[in-house]
Homo-oligomer: A and B are copies of this chain.
Amino acid sequence: MASRGVNKVILVGNLGADPETRYMPSGGAVTNINVATSEQWKDKQTGQPQERTEWHRVVFFNRLAEIAGEYLRKGSKVYVEGSLRTRKWQGQDGQDRYTTEIVANEMQMLDSRGAGQGQGGYAPPPPQSQGDYGQAPAPAPAPQKAPSGGGGQSSPPASDFPDFDDDIPF
């Protein structure tokens, strides 16, 4: 894998929901998570504490997807390293839409026990595995379904999002 340029993202944050894992026709796993990072500061005028949460859509492939899907849970704190990828897809209105994701190539669980306090879901002891075997099927990854949420005002694209079965080019 050679390249010209550097395209690197580093995140430490918490999962807003349990991971969603799907499988590509090839059999390879694809896992999506949403990771929140937040920034806090004091308003210079009023001195009031402010907060802004940023949500990041992260996608894992293959072995890393399996590990993420198995060990991460809603609330888990995670370190993710990857690269930015903007995908184009069509809304139901036929218009082009764009979604930017972080394609992860490294992941580390940062919770002591390896699991979040997800809603009842048991998470087995974590392997802390990561590495290059989790690499995307280089520049031609698989489709993903929308995050189940969609709600909040600062949330990422959701509603009209391409589905796993949709015929969208990547």
A residues whose Cβ falls under 8 Å from a Cβ of B: 1-14, 36-41, 50, 52, 54-56, 77, 79, 81, 83-86, 88, 91, 93, 95-100, 108, 110-112, 127-132, 138-139, 153-154, 156-157, 159-160
CB distance from A107 to the nearest CB of B (A): 11
Q: Is the CB of B156 within 8 A of A98?
A: yes
Which of B91, B99, B130 is in CB contact (< 8 Å) with A95?
A: B91
In the assembled complex, which residues on chain B have CB atoms less than 8 Å from the CB atom of A128? 2-4, 40
CB distance from A152 to the nearest CB of B (A): 11
Which of B5, B81, B156 is in CB contact (< 8 Å) with A13?
A: B5
Complex Cα gap A14–B139 (Å) = 20
Q: Is the CB of A108 within 8 A of B138?
A: no
Complex Cα gap A43–B70 (Å) = 26
A-B contact pairs, 15 of them (CB 8 A): A1-B41, A2-B129, A3-B39, A3-B131, A4-B37, A5-B38, A7-B13, A8-B9, A12-B12, A77-B112, A86-B157, A95-B160, A96-B157, A98-B99, A112-B112
Q: Is the CB of A12 within 8 A of B50?
A: no
Q: Is the CB of B138 within 8 A of A39?
A: yes
